[in-house]
Structure 1
């Protein structure tokens, strides 16, 4: 058979290449057709002028590449589906829990309620206290924490029923060495719901704020 037969075979493979994103079953059919065409050409080629074997090997290599790409696409699709399922499962487990996010404010739901917070210290500190202020800037309470070691240190504000519900502000201070310094507070907020977009989660918090997972210091 003349070289035009191999050319025709190449055209058939080119069509297969242009549809490499099709399903694996389609690729299987294309592979069977390719092999049938090749066998037919080998049987019917001119014995006095056989087709160069290297051309067939080149076509086989191209077909193998197409199949590998299709299989890779299928694997990536399966991985994406799995990741989305895992992300949704993780998101559902977040709802109703407490997320600690860097903030100087938190809501006291009702009189007699509690507010949770945390300090994350680079080094130990002494005489640590957290001042509590209302929305007018008036200090209504002080939380004495004493001496704290480095790392995460949780605290809870449980005011008496004379303190009304509302938004309160927390200012932490302590002494490191001989220097008095301000400390960063991470206030606990209830996770009301979780939004998923483009493979990332956003926590919708009880105070109306939102936070990404990178903003969260701890989930409890």
Structure 2
């Protein structure tokens, strides 16, 4: 994305600069070839100078935008590289399942019985089950990609909700996981870090161990 924007803005700057050069040549030619006895109207000449000034301002603006985009991309890269080798806590609630289903990996802070609810992108619950988890231990919940009635679902993103307690005392628990960042991916223009087999956007990182 950043690369595309940079190329687009560079092309725009080049086009505007060409227009400025052409405009200046036309204005100079017009002044050279005007009839001395009937010179260009002062108002018309002023308007053309204003147009020339506007073209100059556009070129300067495009140049500044190019510099801002380059600086922003550089900052994203620098920030992403800072995660290398660090242990991060990230939001593990949403995944996009494959044809065989989906797997959520998370670390509950307290042990006991939990209720797992899986919702589709519209918020509809497609599965609900009870599970027993151990505190501070990496846990996996595997879903076969089917609703509770056995109907197969698509590969849209699904969100797992985790609830502790029973009845009115039920409390939703954040579905998070910890892992060490082994790589940084900038190929899509949006920084992502690799934790295990997952490619995680920076926006889903909740904390980092110093």
Contact 1:131 1:172 in 2 (8 A): no
Change in 2 beyond 3 A, CA 1:68/1:211: same
Aligned counterpart, 1:205: 195
Which residue does the alignment assign to 1:184?
A: 174
Give the secondary-structure state (helix, strand or coil) at the position aligned to 1:71. helix
Regions of 4+ moved over 6 Å: 23-32
In 2, Cα distance between the equivalents of 1:27 and 1:83? 28
Within-5 A mapping of 1:56-75: 56-75=45-64
Structure 1 88/118 Cα, relative in aligned 2: closer, same or farther at 3 Å?
farther
- Normalising by structure 1, what TM-score? 0.52
Conserved in 1, the CA contact under 8 Å of 2:105 and 2:140? yes
Structure 2 CA distance for partners of 1:39 and 1:81, relative to 1, 3 Å: same
CA distance in structure 1 between the aligned counterparts of 2:12 and 2:172, rounded to whole angstroms: 60
| Shift in alpha-carbon separation, 1:180–1:202, aligned structure 2, 3 A | same
Is residue 95 of structure 2 the alignment partner of residue 95 of structure 1?
no
1:216 aligned partner: 205
Q: How many residues align?
A: 152
After TM superposition, give the deviation of residue 27 of structure 1 in Å.
Answer: 8.2
Pick closer, same or farther for the CA change 1:58–1:20 going to 2, 3 Å: farther
Instruction: Report which of the two structures shows the higher radius of gyration computed on alpha carbons.
Output: 1
Q: Which residue of 2 aligns with 1:84?
A: 73
Task: Report the CA distance between 1:101 and its aligned residue.
Answer: 2.2
Cα gap change, 1:91 to 1:102, in 2 (>3 Å):
closer
**1:99–1:216 CA contact under 8 A, matched in 2:** yes
1:194 aligns with 2:184: yes
Q: What RMSD in Å do the two structures reach over aligned CA positions?
A: 4.0
Stretch of structure 1 that moved more, 62-71 or 97-106: 97-106
Deviation string, structure 1 residues 62-106 (Cα, Å, up to 9, x no partner): 111111111111111111111121111111101111222233525
Say whether residues 1:130 and 2:111 are aligned partners.
yes
Does the 8 Å CA contact 1:24/1:71 hold for their aligned counterparts?
no
2:82 partner SS: helix
Is the contact made by 2:24 and 2:52 (CA closer than 8 Å) also made in structure 1? no
More strand by share: 1
Secondary structure of 2:193's partner? strand
Take 2:61 and 2:131, find their aligned partners in 1: how far apart are those partners? 63
1:3 is matched with none
Structure 1 residue runs without a partner (length 5+): 1-18, 107-116, 120-128, 144-155, 158-166
